[in-house]
Amino acid sequence: MSFAFRMSLCLLTLGLNFSAPALALPQSTSSTPFEEASLRVVVEEYFSAYGKKDLAGVVALWSERSPSLATYKRSLEQRFASEDLSFGRSAISRVKVESGRASLRVTIALTSINRKNQQKSEQRLVRIFEFIREGQQWKIWRYAPAAEDLARALAKADNEAERAGLLAEEKELVGVELGRALLAQGRQLPSVPISLETLSSNSLMSRAKEAFNVSRLVIIIEARESIASKG
Question: pLDDT, tens digit, for every residue of 27-45?
Answer: 444 568 889 999 999 999 9
Coil, strand or helix at 193 = coil
Q: Kindly state the average pLDDT of the residues 165-186.
A: 85
User: Which pLDDT tens digit goes with each residue over 140-164?
Assistant: 999 999 999 999 898 888 888 898 8
Domain ranges of the chain: 3-145, 157-230
Give the number of C-alpha atoms closer than 13 A to the C-alpha of residue 132, restricted to the C-beta side.
10
Q: With DSSP H G I counted as helix, E B as strand and the rest as coil, what are the percentages for the chain, rounded to 5?
A: 55, 25, 25
Q: Which ranges constitute the DSSP H helices of 52-126?
A: 55-60, 69-82
Residue 100 burial (C-beta neighbours within 10 Å; 0-12, 13-18, 19+): exposed
Q: What string of DSSP letters covers 74-94?
A: HHHHHHHHHEEEEE---EEEE
Give the total residue count for the chain: 231
Write the pLDDT tens digit of every residue in 185-227: 765 544 545 555 555 544 444 444 444 433 344 344 444 434 4
The answer to whether the beta carbons of residues 211 and 182 sit under 8 Å apart is no
Q: Which phi and psi angles does 196 have, rounded to 5°? A: -60, -30
How does pLDDT run across 86-142, given as a tens digit for each residue? Answer: 999 999 999 999 989 999 999 999 999 999 999 999 999 999 999 999 999 999 999
Cα(82)–Cα(63) distance, integer angstroms? 26
Q: Taken in order 29, 32, 35, 37, is the CA torsion positive or negative?
A: positive
The domain 3-145 is classified under which CATH number: 3.90.1510.10, 3.40.50.1370, 3.30.428.10, 3.10.450.50? 3.10.450.50
Indicate if the pLDDT at residue 229 is higher than 80. Answer: no
What is the rounded CA–CA span in Å between residue 113 and residue 172? 25
pLDDT for residue 198: 55
Answer for the pair 45, 38: CB distance below 8 angstroms, yes or no: no
The model carries a pTM of 0.69
